[in-house]
């Protein structure tokens, strides 16, 4: 019996020694990065290091010493390995996301499952390391927090393969979230970066201009259109053929004609315009002043709209701007919240950092301006402002698969009020095979 135990222990040491040495070296390297690169707290960094050492070493001890001694050991082994491997991969390299809304159609569609490359712009090290595996900020069943802030690390990003460029499709944590969550636990958004740090952005008649030059238009960008037909609908087959998913239909009083509001790409616009049932098709352009206080920076001084926006300077790290009444509402939240100067304030026509009067400010981070390709149906930077570099998660890489959802509306009775209301629902209706493994551009 003693001989068997000794042979088992020798086998364990032989199989795991190299792996554990490599893991410890990598884990120790991460510890040094946290301490000297991110300037993270010493105690928190050491605890984080020890947690991962215990987890990995404990897993190998279980695998080679205890797995074979009870039923279901292989299943436990597989689950432990999957949790550890997936956590490392999701944190450092790639992660799978689902598109929940139509703000990026037709470039990305509701039901797309895509991989996000976290290495492209440099992996952002976790800022909230104590969290439940596979959960973002909320537990799926209980609805409670899926993380603890007992240990918190400052923002730090490893070197990447490049920087964000105009036109990149980027996943980021929504900066305007007001739930009090840590940066890396805020809701994930996906949009196209239309302006990078140092750019001056303008939107003129729906067309983005960067530093005075019109954008390279995304191939499947969409706008809202009002379509009038001669009393007939364009038909389910027509909508499916051209993947026209966002539309509402109503009748025109006193006539047999119908009016449709549709989100259309340039290609779909041509298809609809050429349909024999269409009488007219008009773009729903929002003129200057049509923002009702809903657009960033939320004041009457900037009479911008979704289609006539700016000019707006996008802050760049190290650049100094002179503070005035025009740019104060634009950069106030940036300075106070994103760059953590909560003592920044305006008194009359003067600006203060605490009790010290200042006339200019130097930005501490790069910022980006994000917009959805579904330009009239996207809640983006036009509504809530800049995306700081510490909120960037990674670059949208490719679509793994895509599920088509069929929407339907029905009248139901509200159990609280007893009133009838329209309820919209959707259910999977197939797989979009033409989108499987499609690269995101």
Active site residues: 103, 191
Nearest-angstrom CA–CA distance, 329 and 151: 34
Sheet holding 258-265, edge to edge: 247-251, 258-265, 222-229, 278-283
Tell me if residue 226 falls in helix, strand or coil: strand
Nearest-angstrom CA–CA distance, 385 and 217: 21
Sheet holding 350-353, edge to edge: 344-347, 350-353, 356-358
Which residues have C-beta within 8 Å of that of residue 211, sequence separation ≥ 6?
199, 200
Region for 415 from its dihedrals, namely left if φ exceeds 0, alpha if ψ lies in -120 to 50, beta otherwise: alpha
Strand partners, 370: 193
Strand partners, 260: 227, 249
- Closest C-alpha to 399, from 356, 376, 373, 432: 432
C-alpha dihedral sign at 171, 175, 181, 187: negative
Tell me if residue 142 falls in helix, strand or coil: coil
Which residues have C-beta within 8 Å of that of residue 332, sequence separation ≥ 6?
344, 346
């Amino acid at each position: 019996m003693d001989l068997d135990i000794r042979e088992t222990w020798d086998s364990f040491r032989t199989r795991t020694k190299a792996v554990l040495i490599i893991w410890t070296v990598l884990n120790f390297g991460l510890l040094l990065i946290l301490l000297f690169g991110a300037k993270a707290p010493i105690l928190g960094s050491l605890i984080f290091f020890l947690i991962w050492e215990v987890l990995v070493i404990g897993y190998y001890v279980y695998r080679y010493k205890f797995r074979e001694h009870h039923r279901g050991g292989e299943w436990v082994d597989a689950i432990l390995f999957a949790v550890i491997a997936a956590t490392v991969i999701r944190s450092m390299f790639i992660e799978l996301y689902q598109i929940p809304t139509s703000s990026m159609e037709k470039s990305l569609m509701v039901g797309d499952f895509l991989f996000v490359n976290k290495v492209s712009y440099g992996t952002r090290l976790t800022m909230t390391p104590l969290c439940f595996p596979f959960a973002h900020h909320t537990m799926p069943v209980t609805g409670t927090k899926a993380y603890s802030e007992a240990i918190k690390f400052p923002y730090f990003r490893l070197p990447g393969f490049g920087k964000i460029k105009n036109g990149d499709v980027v996943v980021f944590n929504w900066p305007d979230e007001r739930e009090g969550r840590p940066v890396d636990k805020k809701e994930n958004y996906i949009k196209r970066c239309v302006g990078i740090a140092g750019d001056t952005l303008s939107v003129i008649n729906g067309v983005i201009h960067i530093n005075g030059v019109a954008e390279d238009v995304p191939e499947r960008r969409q706008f809202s259109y009002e379509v009038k037909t001669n009393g007939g609908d364009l038909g389910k087959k027509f909508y499916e053929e051209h993947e026209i998913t966002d539309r509402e239909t109503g009748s025109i009083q006193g006539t047999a004609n119908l009016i449709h509001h549709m989100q259309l790409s340039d290609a779909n616009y041509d298809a609809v315009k050429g349909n024999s049932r269409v009488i007219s098709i008009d773009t729903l352009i929002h003129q200057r002043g049509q923002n009702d206080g809903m657009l960033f920076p939320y004041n009457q001084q900037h009479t911008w709209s979704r289609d006539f926006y700016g000019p707006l300077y996008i802050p760049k790290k190290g650049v100094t701007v002179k503070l005035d009444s025009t740019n104060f509402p634009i950069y106030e939240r940036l300075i106070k919240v994103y760059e953590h100067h909560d003592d920044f304030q305006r008194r009359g026509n003067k600006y203060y950092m605490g009790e010290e009067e200042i006339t200019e400010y130097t930005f501490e981070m790069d910022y980006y301006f994000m917009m959805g390709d579904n330009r009239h149906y996207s809640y983006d930077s036009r509504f809530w402002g800049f995306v700081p570099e510490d909120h960037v998660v990674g670059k949208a890489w490719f679509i793994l698969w895509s599920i088509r959802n069929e929407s339907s509306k029905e009248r139901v009775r509200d159990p609280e009020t007893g009133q009838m209301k329209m309820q919209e629902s959707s259910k999977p209706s197939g797989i979009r095979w033409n989108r499987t493994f499609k690269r995101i551009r």
